[in-house]
Amino acid sequence: MAATTSKSPNAPNDRANSSPFNYGDLKNSLEHLSGFFSSPHAQNTKDLIDELDKQQHQLSKMRKTLEEQAENHNITVRQISSTLQQEMTKASDAEKKMKSKCTALEEKKNVISEYARKCKKLEGEIQHLQSANSQSEGKLAQASQDVSSLKEKLKTKNAIIEKSKTIESDLRRDLLVEKEKTEGLQKLVDDMQCKVAKMQGFSPRRQNMDEKTMMDSFDNLWEYAAARMSSILSHDLEPKALKDLSKWRIIGEESHRLAYHFPLPASNSSAAKAMRLVVILAVLSREIDKYIFQPAYLTPDDSNLRKTLSQLAGTDPEKETLYRSLTLSIDSKTQKGFLQSNVQTVVQKVSNCVFGLLSDSQYSEFREITKKIVKKAAEVWDPIQHSQRKYEPGFDLYDEHMPFIFPGQEKGRNRKGINVDSKRDVLMIFPGISSIGLGPRQQQSYVISLSKLHPLYVLADQEASSVPPSPSIDLAN
């Protein structure tokens, strides 16, 4: 706005200076023309020129006046612009101060709001503290009552303590008396413990073998015995032995001693060899049962001890275990000697059955095989003999039994027993074994027997009956 105003007074002057027309040039031109023209119009031209000079003078004065006015106007405009600039600066400063004050005001409002929030929070805390204080006062009152109650109880307890002290004094006196008695009893207990420890020292080793393993070993023993005896008795007998009836005396007597009728034809037929094998195995198992399957080996024949301990196991198993342990602990070196002697006894008695029937080399081999079987029986019996539980072998035939299988006919046998139709129709060969305790005996392994209906038995019986006289017929009668 100021800039536009300052230019307005100078506008006419600027147009005069910029116009192509010049008054001096016009005058000169007219004077020059007046000299050439002497026409009546020359005087008018002169007057015109004078008038022009007058107008020029006035125009100069007016121009000067206009310039002064323009200068004054410019000064005024500049003063107004300066004043306006100052006012704008003041307004800007005032606006800044206003903004600063507004900012400060906002900050103060925020501070006031924060104070208000804190005050509100403090009011809540004050109310909470007042409530807690009220509760504390109630608790304090209750505590005061409790203290009074405790004081009363304390008085009562002090009275009880005094009474207890009196009782304690009496108890101490009684305790001294009981202590003297206890010392006497402790001495007796110590003596008993020494005796028990001494008795425990007599106890022999205990077997860690489980029952199934022991029973399997017991069953496998008879399979082993049948296989080994079959290897030597399957050979043919010499004709001389078949004809000499005196050679058959001992085996015939053993056959009768078994309380069963075993046909023993004097031949080398398969049925005759099978019956000789059955008789020898039956004799062998009974001699092993008599001399090896004993609870201990204090004497060559401990049959009475065996019977006594078996009866005791049925009424008091723990006592039987203790007595058996003590018996086994007595002079173990001597017992080992008796065991070796029993092995030789079994070998000798079984070998007597075939003495004279076998050749010298066969007889020596027979004795060696018998000795191995008896030693294996002793090994099988050892963990059973030292077991916690009492086991008793026997030839008693219960409701079930295992059929005897001749070596080479079948591999293995089923452990499950078969029912017995008639005890008179079977011949016991190997013993079974049962566990003894309170209550009835529990059969762990079945008796192994030969049925009289077995084809080999039938053939042997027919052969012995159809060829008189024969050593088997004479012995059977």
Q: How far is CA 315 from CA 296, 312, 324, 393, in A?
A: 20, 5, 15, 18
User: How far apart are the C-alpha atoms of 250 and 349, rounded to whole Å?
Assistant: 10
Classify residue 424 by its DSSP letter: G
Examine residue 188 and state whether it is found in any structural domain, yes or no: no
- Please give the structure tokens belonging to residue 377: 């029986």
Q: How many CA atoms lie within 13 Å of 259's alpha carbon, on the beta-carbon side?
A: 6
Please check the confidence at residue 361 and state whether its pLDDT lies above 80.
yes
- 231 and 362 within one domain: yes
- Give the pLDDT band of residue 120 (cuts 50, 70, 90): confident
Instruction: Give backbone dihedrals phi and psi of 444, rounded to 5 degrees, phi first.
Output: -100, -30
- 213 and 79 within one domain: no
User: How far apart are the C-alpha atoms of 60 and 57, rounded to whole Å?
Assistant: 5
User: How far apart are the C-alpha atoms of 312 and 318, rounded to whole Å?
Assistant: 9
- Please give the structure tokens belonging to residue 161: 């303590």
- 273 and 402 within one domain: yes
Q: Give the total number of structural domains in the chain.
A: 2
**Exposed, middle or buried: residue 1 (CB in 10 Å: 0-12, 13-18, 19+)?**
exposed
- More reliable by pLDDT, 471 or 297: 297
- 219 and 92 within one domain: no
Q: How many CA atoms lie within 13 Å of 467's alpha carbon, on the beta-carbon side?
A: 16
For the chain, the average pLDDT equals 82
Last residue of a domain, one of 92, 109, 126: 109
Closest by CA to 295, choosing from 367, 418, 381, is 381
Residues in CB range of 453: below 8 A, 6 or more apart: 425
Please check the confidence at residue 189 and state whether its pLDDT lies above 60.
yes
User: How far apart are the C-alpha atoms of 450 and 429, rounded to whole Å?
Assistant: 7
Please check the confidence at residue 220 and state whether its pLDDT lies above 50.
yes
Range of the domain at 467: 203-476
- Give the pLDDT band of residue 33 (cuts 50, 70, 90): low
Q: Lowest mean pLDDT of 11-20, 355-364, 393-402, name the range.
A: 11-20
In this prediction, what percent of the chain has a pLDDT beyond 90? 29
Region class of 182: left (phi > 0), else alpha (psi between -120 and 50), else beta? alpha
Q: Are strands 432-436 and 390-394 parallel, antiparallel or unpaired?
A: antiparallel
- Please give the structure tokens belonging to residue 251: 């085996």
Last residue of a domain, one of 51, 79, 109: 109
Quote the pLDDT of residue 8: 46
Quote the pLDDT of residue 192: 75
- Please give the structure tokens belonging to residue 66: 């206009």
Quote the pLDDT of residue 196: 62
Please check the confidence at residue 252 and state whether its pLDDT lies above 80.
no
Examine residue 88 and state whether it is found in any structural domain, yes or no: yes
- 400 and 251 within one domain: yes
Quote the pLDDT of residue 1: 44
Predicted confidence (pLDDT) per residue in 160-175, tens digit: 888 888 888 888 888 8
Q: Lowest mean pLDDT of 193-202, 238-247, 355-364, name the range.
A: 193-202
Please check the confidence at residue 423 and state whether its pLDDT lies above 80.
no
The amino acid that residue 255 corresponds to is S
Mean pLDDT over residues 318-344, rounded? 90
User: How far apart are the C-alpha atoms of 354 and 340, rounded to whole Å?
Assistant: 22
Q: Lowest mean pLDDT of 40-44, 137-141, 352-356, 371-375, name the range.
A: 40-44
Q: Lowest mean pLDDT of 51-55, 257-261, 339-343, 472-476, name the range.
A: 472-476
Give just the sign of the alpha carbon dihedral 208, 214, 216, 221: positive
Beta strands in 248-339 (DSSP E): none
Please check the confidence at residue 13 and state whether its pLDDT lies above 90.
no
Examine residue 159 and state whether it is found in any structural domain, yes or no: no
Examine residue 7 and state whether it is found in any structural domain, yes or no: yes
Q: Are strands 400-403 and 448-451 parallel, antiparallel or unpaired?
A: parallel
Quote the pLDDT of residue 471: 46
Q: Is residue 266 within 8 Å of 473, Cβ to Cβ?
A: no
- 223 and 98 within one domain: no
Please check the confidence at residue 201 and state whether its pLDDT lies above 60.
no
Q: Which residue bears the tokens 């299988």?
A: 405
Q: How far is CA 333 from CA 184, 299, 337, 340, 432, in A?
A: 41, 13, 6, 11, 30
- 419 and 287 within one domain: yes
Examine residue 120 and state whether it is found in any structural domain, yes or no: no
Most confident residue range from 338-347, 411-420, 438-447? 338-347
Examine residue 14 and state whether it is found in any structural domain, yes or no: yes
- More reliable by pLDDT, 474 or 258: 258
Quote the pLDDT of residue 477: 29
Kindly report the pTM of this predicted structure.
Answer: 0.58
Give just the sign of the alpha carbon dihedral 194, 198, 201, 203: negative
Quote the pLDDT of residue 285: 95
Closest by CA to 209, choosing from 386, 417, 448, 427, is 386
Please check the confidence at residue 311 and state whether its pLDDT lies above 70.
yes
ω into 469 cis (within 30 of 0)? yes
Q: Are strands 442-445 and 390-394 parallel, antiparallel or unpaired?
A: unpaired
Mean pLDDT over residues 334-354, rounded? 94
Q: Lowest mean pLDDT of 30-44, 53-67, 360-374, name the range.
A: 30-44
Closest by CA to 328, choosing from 392, 388, 394, 393, is 388
- 208 and 75 within one domain: no
Q: How many CA atoms lie within 13 Å of 8's alpha carbon, on the beta-carbon side?
A: 10
* 3-class DSSP state of 427: strand
Last residue of a domain, one of 82, 109, 136: 109
What is the residue-wise DSSP string for 269-293? Answer: SHHHHHHHHHHHHHHHHHHHHHHTS
Examine residue 11 and state whether it is found in any structural domain, yes or no: yes
- 279 and 406 within one domain: yes
Helix H or strand E segment including 164: helix 42-202
- 377 and 243 within one domain: yes
Q: Is residue 371 within 8 Å of 288, Cβ to Cβ?
A: no
* 3-class DSSP state of 433: strand
Please check the confidence at residue 114 and state whether its pLDDT lies above 80.
yes
User: How far apart are the C-alpha atoms of 378 and 374, rounded to whole Å?
Assistant: 6
Predicted confidence (pLDDT) per residue in 62-113, tens digit: 888 998 888 888 898 888 988 988 888 988 888 888 888 888 888 888 888 8
- 453 and 334 within one domain: yes
Beta strands in 347-467 (DSSP E): 390-394, 400-403, 418-419, 426-430, 432-436, 442-445, 448-451
Examine residue 356 and state whether it is found in any structural domain, yes or no: yes
Quote the pLDDT of residue 14: 47
